[in-house]
Structure 1
């Protein structure tokens, strides 16, 4: 009786931690990324950013969502000129194509890429205004628990944060 109960408990635990729980990406997944970034802002000097994104799976390979960051960076007006500290808040819609399951057998790894489009509220002590955010992003998430993992993301374009790392939560 004890062996049967033990086998039943082991089978239950294995089924809860099954491959399905660690699946790369599926329709209906809700993913929250929270992280930090840096590497400057466009052609400007070094920067630091904090922010997050939220995506919902609308297809087996496609998710849509939004992102927002708070970015601090420096800009120098040329050799020997004063530096200025800028703050920007890029807010954008994003889409991702999750292509990892086409060729990967690692269920804990989710590879994705897609467009980013929105606007940014920018300013410093001399200027305030808005600008367009347009670019692309590509990244990877590795789930070390069924609903929690780490991500690294790289972006290119106008008014996007070049690199971000942080934690991902799947709902």
Structure 2
């Protein structure tokens, strides 16, 4: 875990130190998005999803990559613990040219994904026939997203998305390489 945080901070520093010109979105861009969700579509609709996605620009309008998210919550006074893990491919279409957006700091996009969702539940109560009860299942869900990025620096910005997947609203930071 320490290595992941170290890599994140090194990437953030390199992104902030870079002085290349702004560009909305272009072929060959490599993006790393890290954020949190507000709300969740899980069974009990609570918890704060933590998510990350990586994208590669296949053309000036199309990007694709992978999405990962995790959300966990306790229920009924903490006796039940529910966890969801989402992972899968996603693709986006970048609308700046179509919408005639000339501000190079904005990137407007939308797209879809297909995620594997693993759900697990654990009972940790004592003195019940449910002691140490565990269950899990895995399914595949379609996902839709619409979002925008705003670049504060040429390689660092913020993003927000609405849609269907791990969370109805996601916010975070983005790094462009």
Query: TM-score normalised by the shorter chain: which range applies?
Result: 0.7 to 0.9
Alpha-carbon deviations, 1:117-155, whole Å to 9, x = none? 020111011421111121201111000001000000112
* 1:100 partner SS: coil
1:130 aligns with 2:132: no
1:38 aligns with 2:9: no
Structure 2: which 5+ runs fail to align?
1-17, 123-133
**In structure 1, C-alpha distance between the alignment counterparts of 2:162 and 2:43, rounded to whole Å:** 16
**In structure 1, C-alpha distance between the alignment counterparts of 2:25 and 2:75, rounded to whole Å:** 39
Contact 2:35 2:171 in 1 (8 A): yes
Structure 1: which 5+ runs fail to align?
1-15, 77-81
**CA RMSD, aligned part only?**
2.2
TM-score (ref. length: structure 2): 0.75
Work out which structure has the larger RCO, using CA pairs closer than 8 Å and 6 or more positions apart in sequence. 2
1:90 aligns with 2:90: no
Correspondence list, 1:54-133, <5 A: 54-73=54-73, 84-102=80-98, 103-125=100-122, 126-133=134-141
Report the structure number with the largest CA radius of gyration.
1
